[in-house]
Amino acid sequence: MDNFEKLVKKSIDKFKMLNKDEKILVSVSGGKDSHAAAYVLNKLGYNIELFHINLGIKNFSDISLEKVKELSNILEVPLHIVNLKDITGKTIEDLKRKHCSICGITKRYLMNKFGYENNFDVIVTGHNLDDEVSFLLNNLLNWSVRYLAKHFPVLPAHDKFLKKVKIFYEIEEDLILKYAVKNNIPFTTAKCKFAKDAITLKHRAYLNELEKERKNIKKQFLYGYLKYRHLFDIEEDFQFRECEICGMTSAGKICSFCRVWKLYKKSKYKN
């Protein structure tokens, strides 16, 4: 086991993230983080399968799919692919606005639904320390208190939501990149054309600038949050229920996914 793998194992143990008897679905995007997550979990002996969503973004989705298939071949683990267009009749490309926020809702929903319907115990994503601190900053800037309590590496299962785990929660992006390159893990560096609009990428850029002057500021921010996150732990003022269109767990009558893709227009709901 090399130093990076030891670091990941230590983090998994520290936060009691995963068990060897769990059936794990790793959400892979084509990029280095999720591919390194699948690779290291496979190496550490966890029972994993891969899940990928074809978002239908020109060029970017094609190259991502190619890399995901390469990874599945190397690891010799099953790969499940879902095409957004088959489900919604549209792609991310067809949206007029809010590409990233709708894309985020879509990815979270589809991986959870697939995992739930196929008896997986847990979903693993490749989010790393740099992602976490930029999400955290964004939620602080917006005072999204409901979300501020949820920046934890393990979110427990409830209703039809599976347990979700971020194995790289404490791991910096550059370490993951070095590990991916060292082990010849296939991944693409292609950037989605909508990435420029993502505010969290802007947060990430100035947090990196700050890190040059204040070493370890990102870790300090993250560990400070872990110490004080209980302050944001508020009681939800609603009850989860089943979405009236798709039946998955929802905070309202219709879940965010069915709402943003206007699936009620195709359902009996409005008739």
Q: Among 41-49, 214-222, 227-235, 250-258, which window interacts with Zn ion (CB under 5 A)?
A: 250-258
**Amino acid of residue 209:** E
CB 103 within 8 A of CB 257: no
Q: Tell me the per-residue interface mask from 109 to 148 with ligand SF4, x by CB under 6 A, - otherwise.
A: ----------------------------------------
- Which of 120, 109, 116 is CA-nearest to residue 245? 109
Q: Name 193's Cβ contacts closer than 8 Å, sequence gap at least 6.
A: 57, 58, 60
* Site membership for Zn ion, residue 258 (CB under 5 A): yes
CB–CB of 78/49 below 8 Å?
yes
The strand pair at 163-168 and 122-128 is best described as parallel
Select from 15, 194, 232, 269 the one that contacts ligand SF4 (CB under 6 A): 194
The interface with ligand SF4 within residues 56-115 (CB under 6 A) comprises 92, 99-100, 103-104
255 binds, among ligand SF4, Zn ion, none (CB under 5 to 8 A by kind): Zn ion
- Token pair, residue 10, equals 């230590």
> Considering only 46-54, 189-197, 217-225, 232-240, which stretch makes contact with ligand SF4 by CB under 6 A?
189-197
Q: Which is nearer to Zn ion, 71 or 260 (CB)?
A: 260
Residue 245 sits in the site that holds Zn ion (CB under 5 A): yes
Please report, as a single letter, which amino acid is at residue 61: S
Work out whether 195 is an interface residue with ligand SF4 (CB under 6 A): yes
